[in-house]
Chain A
Amino acid sequence: MKALWLELKEKRVSYLFVAPFLLVFALFVVVPIAVAIGLSFTYFNMIEPPRWVGWSNYLALFLEDDVFLIAVKNTLLFAVITGPLSYALCFVFAWLINELKPRIRAVLTLLFYAPSISANAFMIWTVLFSGDAYGYINGILLYWGIIDKPVQWLVDPRWMMPIVIVVVLWMSLGVSFLTFIAGLQGIDSIYYEAGAIDGVRNRWQELWYITLPMMKHHLMFGAIISITNSFAAADQLQALTGTAPTDWATWTIVQHINDYGYVRYEMGYASAMAVLLFITMLLVQRLVQRLLRRIG
């Protein structure tokens, strides 16, 4: 106890420097995790005080809530497809762009990164995939005679998920992409020259034996960001296919959480879902990090 006090006194500048940030961090990250876990065992509607219900929220999720099970299936499917694909796209495009001249590289970086920062720009896809003949895709396909009546792209469950995936991938070249661009630029050309002397023959060998190992730390960071994003999709899906999509074809866990939390005020039930999603994300992160350690 005394040692701790001495440490606090001696290093007080350091502690004062980290304190303000940590206070906000604790209030909006650490405490919420604890609150979510606690509430998940209660019935709470924000009017009456929370009432302890044990595991019944969790049981109800799996036994009584069919929509939740659909949401689980969609979330996993969505994450399994968009997570690795967006990660691969981020890396491949960054790698290809890196070979170009600086000016073209800057322009292409902007071009690829722009969709992820431009707020509501993805809404243009609702115009492209609009269900009437004035939608661009329908218009072109009708004009070419490939289809004879407009396709309800965002209402027909066969098309909803694929289109949503295309759109989310389109806006997923964000932080990870920039990280890879920067990481590639930071690799000293000496390594490539040394590699050439040591018998690296083509660009694929160069990629596998030099670039990827040199990028290991960036790849790890990018993976964390990509996984986190792939499980969190909600807003874009809702904007594209509506608040009650046909057959719940694009309904994800985060949308279900928001629905129960903000619309029905069943905070305990919504928290149980959040806790499950939270645990799932962490497990997947661990798994992927194990895999990535083997690169190079």
Chain B
Amino acid sequence: MRLKISNRRIARSTAGDVAILIFLGLGAVYMALPMFYAICQAFKPLNELFIFPPQFLPRHPTMSNFSDLFLLMAQSWVPVSRYLFNSLFIVGAGSAGNVILGSLCAYALAKHDFKGRNLINNLILFSLMFAGSVLVIPRYLIISYLGWINTYTALVVPAWGATLGVFLMRNFITHMVHDSLLEAARIDGASEWYIHWRIVMPIVKPAWLTLIILNFQQLWGDQGGMFIYSEELKPLPYALNQIIGGGVGRAGVAAAVSVLLMAVPITVFVINQAKIVQTMGTSGITGE
């Protein structure tokens, strides 16, 4: 894949450049201002949150919202470290399973020839065409039938079956792993299992980093909802929402909470940005 910038030769009208810059600028403002405002709110002392007219920037930036938050969290009945562990465990186990099961399936779909391969490919593509939210009721029934209600399993295992990641990974393996490499390994007597873990997986590292960020997008904000009712198994966003629920006096703490919540997935994305973009490059759908 080439990542160099194209140096084009076509004349570009200045008017067009200006119009595009203005449009891009407006877009950037629309996208960035709310995020920036959220961060500003977190550093305002409580009295600045309720002044008229409202100020955008904090006049006397303070860390007190964060220290109040930690104080509140320290008083909670279930220690916050437990909520944090729950969230990390759910995202971690969900991503790990999705990467392991998904990559095995994606490798076979990309590089093996067997009956039913097309059927599976079409099923996966088909599943991208409707939202999981139409299946919440039967999923809930299945999970409760399996006796998984109020366990991590209820959130973790369904994530393993997420098809977007497998779809991306299959395309990525098709494009990025050369058949000659696999042939050479087979001639040397390597098993498919060995080839998958030692040859394919290192090459498609960008793809599994992408799967991890997609799982973050799905699972990080999850509050457990219908699936988890024990306090000590609830994920962090639930606990933080409980703190916010404490009324107007908690407005500053609430702002600190949302900054903390958004910091985690954004950090994960920033670290892996280049690789994720590379993966999405192979996501195209070839018409039949």
Q: List A residues at the B interface (Cβ < 8 Å).
A: 4, 7, 11, 13-15, 17-18, 20-22, 24-25, 27-33, 35-36, 39, 46, 89, 92-93, 96-97, 99, 101-102, 106, 108-125, 127-128, 133-136, 139-140, 142-143, 170, 173-175, 178-179, 181-183, 185-189, 192-193, 195-196, 200-203, 206, 215-218, 220-221, 224-225, 227-229, 231-232, 234, 254, 257-258, 261-262, 267, 270-271, 274-275, 277-278, 281-282, 285, 293
Contact = CB atoms under 8 A, between A and B. Distances in A.
B285 A221 contact: yes
B266 A114 contact: yes
B196 A32 contact: no
B221 interface: yes
Interface stretch (B61-69, B78-86, B130-138, B177-185): B130-138
A120 B34 CA distance: 12
A216 B64 CA distance: 51
Given A110-B270, A185-B3, A18 B129 contact: no
12 contacts: A14-B108, A115-B31, A118-B261, A121-B35, A124-B41, A133-B52, A174-B217, A202-B10, A202-B16, A203-B10, A257-B137, A262-B226
Contact of A231 (B5, B6, B131, B241): B131
Nearest to B53: A143
B142 to A, nearest CB: 7
A173 to B, nearest CB: 7
B10 to A, nearest CB: 5
Contacts of B163: 25, 29
Contact of B269 (A110, A220, A229, A257): A110
A217 B114 contact: no
Interface in B112-150: 112-115, 117, 120, 123-124, 127-142
Q: Is the interface of A mostly helix, strand, loop or mixed?
A: helix
A281 B129 contact: yes
A225 B187 CA distance: 41
A200 to B, nearest CB: 6
Contacts of B160: 21, 24
A32 B281 contact: no
Given A18-B105, A117-B269, A229 B135 contact: no
B9 interface: yes
B273 A124 contact: no
Contact of B142 (A32, A111, A136, A262): A32
Contacts, number: 317
B285 A139 contact: no
Given A206-B10, A217-B285, A277 B24 contact: no
Interface residues of B, number: 106
Contacts of B214: 175
Given A36-B134, A36-B135, A125 B34 contact: yes
B277 A224 contact: no
Nearest to B263: A118
Given A31-B138, A118-B261, A118-B262, A293 B287 contact: yes
Contacts of A96: 20, 23-24, 27
Interface in B200-221: 213-214, 216-217, 220-221
Contact of A120 (B23, B138, B158, B237): B237
CB-based closest 7 A-B pairs:
A217-B284, A189-B6, A118-B262, A232-B131, A119-B221, A182-B281, A32-B138
A119 B261 contact: yes
Nearest to A167: B34
Contact of B35 (A21, A22, A118, A189): A118
A122 B140 CA distance: 27
Given A18-B109, A21-B104, A282-B130, A117 B266 contact: yes
Nearest to A183: B281
Nearest to A231: B131
A27 B196 CA distance: 25
B4 interface: yes
A9 to B, nearest CB: 11
Given A109-B277, A136-B54, A278 B114 contact: no
Contacts of A231: 130-131
A27 B128 contact: no
Nearest to A273: B134
Contacts of B37: 124, 127-128, 136
Contacts of A109: 273, 277
A164 to B, nearest CB: 14
A182 B279 contact: yes
Contacts of A216: 284, 287
